Structure 1
Amino acid sequence: MRCALLGFVGGAAWLQTQAMLPPHIPEVLLAIALGLAIVRAAPGLLPLVRRRPTSLLAGARPHAWTWQRVLKPLFALLAGFAIGFYWAAMLAHSALAPQLAKADEGRDVTLTGTIDSLPNRFEGGVRFNFAVERVEGRTMQVPPRIALSWYAGYRGAVVTIGDVQPGERWRLTVRLQRPHGNANPYGFDYELWLLEQGVRATGYVRAGTGTGNARLASFVYSFSNVVEHCRAVLRDRILHTLAGKEYAGVIVALVVGEQRGIPQSDWQVFNRTGISHLISISGLHITMIAGLFALAASALWRRSFFTRAQLPLLLPAQKVAAVAGMLAALVYVLLAGFGVPAQRTLYMLAVIAAALWLDRLASVTHVLCLAAGVVVLFDPWAVMWPGFWLSFGAVATILYATVGRTADHHRGADAVAVAAGAAIAGAASSGNRPLSHGRRPQLNRRQRFTADLKAAARVQYAVTVGLVPLTMLLFAQVSLVSPLANAVAIPVVSLLVTPLALAGAVLPELLAAPVLQLAHGTVWLLVQVLEWMSASRVAVWTAPTPSPWLFCWALFGTLWLLAPRGWPVRWLGLVAWVPLLAASPSHPPEGTFRVIAFDVGQGMALLVETSGHRLLYDTGPAYTPESNGGNRVIAPYLRARGISALDAMIVSHADADHSGGALAVVQNIRVLWSASSLPPGHPIIRAAGLHTRCEAGQGWTWDGVRFDMLHPTAASYGDKTLKPNARSCVLKISAGGQSMLLAGDIEAAQEAELQARAQDRIAADVLLAPHHGSGTSSTPPFLAAVRPTLAVFQVGYRNRYHHPQAQVYERYGRLGVRRARSDESGALTLEFNGQLSIESYRDAHRRYWR
């Protein structure tokens, strides 16, 4: 069974790497099921299937032993793999079926439906999912679930944002587009996330269209609407009670799993200290709540609720406790939004509760595999997110490092219960007792405390060490202060903050305020300690994301390190970590350079690499007050590459689509010096440290690669009539007879100026299209002077400026210039090594949902 379940998970994961979905899925699934039935029901067809003793010493035939120990598990693994692959494909076909037609993008349509999620309110608007019930006035096919944004003051219009609540029915006039997200190496896959949520179109609410937007019903009853409404009520209650408190978002996250109210600065502290798993409804919290309800139910049932009913004679208290714990866990998981860690814990609890009711023993490894199989059964895309692998990896590490290594090694139901309970707790970094196959000897209180402390340290050590390779693979960093931070944070968050937050969310208002204030004050004190821990430069170890073989080698070393006592020289396992932790970022060869043009939407951001230096040209746009190209695209990419410092950063001009991510870059990455055309006193200049002004005539050479600043002139800074675009920093990069011209947002006047002033210096093989291909730039004389063979357009999908303008884009084509657009190709990697090569991220990483 375990092999089949592991194969099922592996097959579903393999499907998510495919560029196309396989056809004829029902027939294949039927054939696999038929093959399994034949093998199981007609063992006479295969001599190896005979049921024999599994030990050669017991007199089993060699072919029977081979079947039981080798072929049967292998067959189960392969069959599970095939079923998982085609099951995930069938669900993917079904999820992709509701699709907005390409021709219907950007057209206004009036819809009637219900608010289908917890609204996310932000400065200037609100976002929510909308369950479509009816399309009015058009024959347009609209997917049943869409994601909408409702903005205030769009383009100066006075728009009143409806106070939308889950379960309300609205009539809304909207403008939709197909799912589309930025596509970058090591970046968040927004399109996959939408597919997993069942969202097949995104858009925004239109105002002033004549039909109006109106609430039609205050609540439409359904199970999901009731759940989301309860989450909204609890969230609003907490935010009202803790109005103006900086960590109110943390309290909300612990109660309803809504993490969007936590600012990026706090997440940075939590990630650097390795306690981000606690700032959510995790398996540890769910197990704790389930355990409290189970204990309460058991105590009351044993006492027959203080009556003479003698209820334990009708039903054992253990079974009542299992049901109570399961129901409490289910409610809490629903409040959590049904995330993967919460699902894993719920399914484990369900398996153990079922085993208890049926009086059957449950192996912890069976529980773990079954929980993983159930998660993938309902959500095959879960394998694409770090939480899935961290969640199950943590529990598997505990099992490997502790099961069967303590006490008397007696077998029995108690051993299974203890082991399964520790697995349910998830927990990983929880500090619960180690798994045991024996009963604890009689100890006094002090001895029990010492034993529990040692057990907690042992589990914490196992998880900290065991997850190092996986953490490096997923995040390219590992927190060195995590053991100490978790030792402080786990008891504080799990035993104090979470119970207080839950109690404060449901108590009457008079009692809720002091309880929530106490929870918030505790979080405040905890964060002060965590900020002190995270402030050190050695708090986090970073290295490039390892290759598959390097990860497997480090994993082998970790298994060796955590092997049972008596295993020879276990410390040698650390040697396998050396290539993992000591790896350095890759560089292009001497005298060549590489350019990565990021897909940041409507904005510019390019990383230029030589054999020993790195330069960032522009930093992408600001998406929201908390989100920008710096912290969403650039910093994750640099972190995954193991790049902790930039030699230079150039911000071409002050427009938000070029400078929006600069502050985030400076906060996350060390920048040695910066250059820009920004006005004196600009926040970016103050934050960047060593800064110089872009001026024509500047130049330097790195590793055989020449950098020349061609624009703006020093005199242009005194002209107050010029717009920021006119002073864009124009940089030319040359090496080995090849070159690229980064033109920023210059327009026709500056193009003509460059022709007159530097006619012989602007020719380049690759041109970053000026001003994203707007109608005010890329004039025919300028293109004739540059003579590019390739033009790169960094533009947002269906951007409101309609960049690149159709006539400009066609102008490049008529001149025989090859064109690449970030909205179609994703991030572009250009190698200048004697011959120009270009790689499109979307082409190199084709997936069926893109």
Structure 2
Amino acid sequence: MSLFLPIVPPFFSIFFGILFLLPFVWRWPLLMMFILGAGCFMASWSWQYQQYQTARHAILNATDSTVIVRVNSQPKVYPEYTQLSATVLRGPAAGFKLSLRWQQPPTLAVGQQWRLRLQLKPVHGYANPGGFNRENYGLVDGVVAAGHVIAGRHTLLKQHDSVRQRIVARVEHAIEPYRTASLLRALAVGERDFPPWLWQGAQHAGLGHLLAISGLHIGLVFGWMLWLGSWSKGLLAVKRQQQLVLLLALSAALLYAWLASFAIPTLRASIGLAILVICRSQLLKTSLSRFWLLLVALLLLIMPFWSLSASFWLSVLAVAIIFLAMWRYPLTQFHWPGRLRWFLTFHLMLTLLMTLLGIILFGGFSPLMLVSNLLFVPWCSLVAIPLLLLSLLLTALGFPVAGLWQLTDSAFLPLLWWLERSAQLPLWVPVVQVSGTAVALLAAVLLVLLIFARKAALMLLPLSLLLLTGSTIHSPPWQIHLLDSGQRQLVLLQRGRRAVLYDAAPAQASQDIAADQLQPVLHQLGIHQLDYVLFRQQRSERSRFWALQRNYAVSRHNLAGFSQQPGEELCAQLPAVYQDIRFEILTAGASDSCILRITIGPWRVLIPGNIDQTTEHALVSGNSDVAADILILANNGSAAVNSLPLIQRVRPALAL
């Protein structure tokens, strides 16, 4: 008995715990199931987060900088370096990914295994509006560290030429001469190497979901295979023919997801289709609501970090909206006018609800979204994508199908033309004046109306969008944005579509602010022009000075090249009055400083920028008035300045 005594107390505690919960399960089964599911979700989160932290600590604190990795995606080549994603193959961090930069690398390809000397650091991003959250992405995609390859000798251990790589090479060769090659590549093999204007056009047109292999495309493959399988019912007498057709359709969808390297959206869609096939194969009658709840629960149990991704919620809520529309607006008239009327009603409600969802998740929407989806979702679903899939299948099998690829290119030319025109128009409408709570409450009201009063919901949906965008009609108030930019200090003073930018770069900076930090912020906030740009000009020599740019149009200039633009002026030449605010330049006798005070109505904001102790002492001991209600701390809050005498001299109500 002594051998079993150590496990008796834990066993009896679990046993008595189950006995204690049994009456509650009998009385409130749904509540207890919810608590059990939440507990499983938290347990899965805790376990996976512990695995992530263990791998992260091991790779960052390893004594040996040599790591064996496998290149798992197509490297992106830039003028200064090559960006690649690699999976660690050995050690405690095996299976997790690294984001690496490699200057002047040899020829890289997917599947190669390398022994590299790396200098790594934790994944870090910037928490700005519209920006890319790298830390959340690291958790979602399993990226434990970022860094660069140390110059020196590196060893190629294995050159792996997979079946997928051979198919990708065939497709690349087949689509090379066509104008729509970037679209064909993205939708055939999942390689999205789009120019910036194409990304912008997709966002302005509201067609981003069409340009990447996602649940829509996986579902199309599954649906087309089911349709083809339905034609065999009268031709073949096979036992369990329905189950066989479902399995063949699922296999085709999984092959397409494999060709896209099982990207996260395709993985979610594959899991959903697998659940659907299991239910249909076993002839289980599951309602749409229960199927959706089961799908979301399984996805969150498998990968709880997906809950940090906006694309996850966009995907599952889009499925919920489709199910809701199918339930409230079923197809009852099967003649062509009735089908067309149902199609227009279905897409109108789906697009308007997705617009509200986009406002909640992304803080804005595109007015072209309704027209774009009504035109190109049916066209791509019924014509362009089936042609692409047929061309892809025949190319993968080795057949010469240049004529079919040319026909596919012609089918995608209207979409490319639409994206080109959309990229040239400022069609992104930010909804920054309405809180997310107000939008969520409005969406909840519309959902209730949709369930109980269909006609009222259809009438209120467009009125809701007008209500949300009505804040852009009246004159917006002034807003000050203190942006997250590492060692730089970026202050953005915004009113509507115009703004003033204050860029205080540190002394050791060697270049202007990167466009990928500032461009998403300006786009998200709807800023089209920087009327004034105050920036610390970067020079290779030791001397630096502040400069001023006027009327800097965001759409026509490179945001990473302030110093290279013509028409430079001095910081002191900033006008005293700008719209209904006042600017004051308080240089405090220092040549390398641009101390700015802004008066907005009754509020005064002081921005010292980058100053040294001499300049700070001049501010404290001078006779000029430096009082302000809001103080943007100098040098990003460095303890070397921002002394107590300066705080007492300024007397701010708020220091940032």
Q: TM-score, normalised by structure 2?
A: 0.79
| 1:125-170 deviation line (CA, Å, top 9, x unaligned) | 43333333457xxxxx766534243433xxxxxx4x2323333322
Paired residue type of 2:537: H
Aligned mates of 2:545, 2:570 — CA distance in 1: 15
Aligned length: 627
Structure 1 match to 2:352: 465
* Equivalent position to 1:202, from 146, 155, 172: 146
Question: Residue 208 of structure 2 aligns with which residue?
Answer: 276
Matched, 1:732 2:599: no
State how 1:621-636 maps to structure 2 within 5 Å. Answer: 629-630=514-515, 632-636=516-520
Q: For the residues of structure 2 that align with 1:465 and 1:514, how far apart are their CA atoms?
A: 39
1:615 aligns with 2:566: no
Q: Deviation per CA, 1:41-74, whole angstroms, max 9, x where unpaired?
A: x5xx46x94xxxxxxxxxxxxxxxxx6xxx5434
Q: 1:158-169 residue pairs with structure 2 within 5 A? A: 159=104, 161-169=105-113
Which residue number corresponds to residue 68 of structure 2?
A: 112
Name the structure 1 match of 2:5: none
Work out the CA distance in 2 between the residues paired with 1:664 and 1:376.
Answer: 48
After superposition, the C-alpha distances for 1:338-374 in whole angstroms (9 at most, x for unaligned) are 3454344323322222122212212122222211122
Q: Closer, same or farther in 2 for the Cα pair 1:696/1:479, shift >3 Å?
A: closer
Q: Which residue of 2 aligns with 1:707?
A: 584
Q: Could you say if the C-alpha distance between residues 89 and 658 of structure 1 is closer, same or farther in structure 2, counting changes exceeding 3 Å?
A: farther
**1:418-497 map, 5 Å:** 434=331, 447=335, 449-497=336-384
Correspondence for 2:652: 835
Report the Cα distance in structure 1 between the residues aligned to 2:362 and 2:287, rounded to whole angstroms.
32
Q: Which residue of the partner structure matches residue 526 of structure 1?
A: 415
Structure 1 residues 37 and 551 mapped into 2: Cα distance closer, same or farther (>3 Å)?
farther
For residue 450 of structure 1, what is the amino acid of its counterpart? P
Task: Determine the structure 2 residue equivalent to 1:328.
Answer: 252
Displacement, 1:218? 2.0
Distance 1:789 1:334, change over 3 A: closer
Shift of the 700–276 alpha-carbon distance from structure 1 to 2, 3 Å rule, reads: same
Map 1:568-587 to 2 at 5 A: 571-572=459-460, 580-583=468-471
- C-alpha displacement of 1:108: 7.1
Structure 2 counterpart of 1:600: 485
Is 1:248 the counterpart of 2:181? The answer is yes
Structure 2 counterpart of 1:19 = none
C-alpha displacement of 1:124: 4.5
CA distance in 1, matches of 2:363, 2:283: 45
Shift of 1:272: 0.9
Identify the residue that residue 550 of structure 1 maps to in structure 2: 438
> Residues 567 and 616 of structure 1: is their aligned pair in 2 closer, same or farther, counting only changes over 3 Å?
same
In the alignment, is the contact (CA less than 8 A) between 1:281 and 1:336 conserved in 2? Answer: yes
Match of 1:151 in 2: 102
Q: Could you tell me whether the CA contact under 8 Å between 2:530 and 2:551 is conserved in 1? A: no
Matches of 1:552 and 1:32, distance apart in 2? 41
- Check whether the contact 2:352–2:370 (CA below 8 A) recurs between aligned residues: no
Q: What's the counterpart of residue 265 of structure 1?
A: 197
Letter in 1 for 2:368: V
CA positional deviation for 1:456? 1.6
Q: Secondary structure at the match of 2:346?
A: helix
1:692 shift after superposition: 6.5
Q: Residue 252 of structure 1: CA displacement? A: 1.9
Q: Which of 291, 294, 299 matches 1:367? A: 291
Distance, in Å, in 2 between the alignment partners of 1:122 and 1:343 is 29
Q: CA shift at 1:607, angstroms?
A: 1.1
Partner residue, 2:52: 95
Contact 1:480 1:541 in 2 (8 A): yes
| 8 Å contact kept, 2:627–2:650 | no
Q: Does 1:238 align with 2:127?
A: no
Q: Secondary structure at the match of 1:500?
A: helix
What CA RMSD, in Å, does the superposition of the two structures yield over aligned residues? 4.9
1:653 partnered with 2:537: yes
Query: Does structure 2 conserve the Cα–Cα contact (< 8 Å) formed by 1:238 and 1:248?
Result: no
User: Separation in 1 of the partners of 2:407 and 2:505?
Assistant: 41
User: Which residue of the partner structure matches residue 183 of structure 1?
Assistant: 127
Q: Which amino acid in the other structure matches residue 165 of structure 1? A: A
Structure 1 residues 517 and 588: alpha-carbon distance in aligned structure 2, compared to 1, 3 A threshold:
closer
For the residue of structure 1 that corresponds to 2:537, the secondary structure is coil
1:662-701, aligned counterparts within 5 Å?
Answer: 666-667=553-554, 678=563, 682=564, 684-685=565-566, 693-694=569-570, 696-701=572-577
1:189 & 1:790 partners in 2: Cα distance? 25
Q: For 1:516, which of 379, 400, 405 is the aligned residue?
A: 405
SS of the equivalent of 2:144 reads coil
Q: 1:217 and 2:141 equivalent?
A: no
Q: 1:110 to 1:367 in 2, by over 3 A?
A: same
The residue that corresponds to 1:131 in the other structure is 87
Distance 2:497 2:282 in 1: 65
The 3-state SS of whatever aligns with 1:200 is strand
CA distance in 2, matches of 1:263, 1:487: 25
**In structure 2, how many angstroms separate the alpha carbons of the residues matched to 1:614 and 1:789?**
18
Give the direction of change, closer, same or farther, for the CA distance of 1:512–1:677 in structure 2 (3 Å limit): closer
AA aligned to 2:137 is W
Residues in 2 aligned to 1:578 and 1:292: alpha-carbon distance in whole angstroms: 38
**CA–CA distance in structure 2, aligned partners of residues 333 and 596 of structure 1:** 41
1:350 to 2:214 alignment: no
User: Residues 734, 579 of structure 1: CA spacing in aligned structure 2 closer, same or farther, 3 A cutoff?
Assistant: same
Preserved contact between residue 446 and residue 457 of structure 2 (Cα < 8 Å): no
Structure 1 residues 838, 473: CA separation in 2 closer, same or farther (over 3 Å shift)? Answer: farther
Q: CA deviation at 1:559?
A: 2.1
**C-alpha displacement at 1:470, in angstroms?**
1.5
Structure 1 pair 597/761, CA: closer, same or farther in 2 (3 Å)?
farther
Alpha-carbon deviations, 1:385-414, whole Å to 9, x = none?
A: 2222222222222332331554xxxxxxxx
> Quick one: structure 1 residues 294 and 549, their matched pair in 2 at CA, closer, same or farther if it must change by over 3 Å?
closer
Instruction: Percent identity, please.
Output: 20
C-alpha spacing 1:463/1:699, structure 2 compared with 1 (3 Å): same
For the residue of structure 2 that corresponds to 1:286, the secondary structure is helix
Do 1:790 and 1:818's aligned partners in 2 also have CA atoms closer than 8 Å?
Answer: no
**Aligned residues of 2:229 and 2:245 also touching (Cα < 8 A):** yes
SS in 2 for 1:361: coil
User: Residues 72 and 292 of structure 1: is their aligned pair in 2 closer, same or farther, counting only changes over 3 Å?
Assistant: same
Against the structure 1 CA distance between its residues 497 and 563, is the aligned structure 2 distance closer, same or farther, given a 3 Å change threshold? same
Equivalent residues in 2 for 1:26-45, closer than 5 Å: 39=21, 42=22, 45=23
The CA deviation at 1:215 is: 1.0
CA–CA distance in 2 between the matches of 1:38 and 1:612? 61
Q: Specify which of 612, 631, 634 is matched with residue 791 of structure 1.
A: 634
Relative distance call for 1:571 and 1:217 in structure 2 (3 A) is closer
Asked whether the equivalents of residues 117 and 129 of structure 1 are also in contact (C-alpha less than 8 Å), the reply is yes
Structure 1 residues 31 and 127: alpha-carbon distance in aligned structure 2, compared to 1, 3 A threshold:
farther
- Structure 2's unaligned 5+ residue stretches are 1-8, 507-511
Could you list the runs of 5+ residues in structure 1 that have no partner in the other structure? 1-26, 50-66, 136-140, 153-158, 220-225, 305-309, 407-433, 435-439, 622-626, 686-690, 714-725, 767-787, 795-808, 820-831, 840-850
Structure 1 residues 399, 648: CA separation in 2 closer, same or farther (over 3 Å shift)? same
Q: By how many angstroms is 1:638 displaced? A: 4.4
Give the counterpart letter for 2:325 in structure 1: A
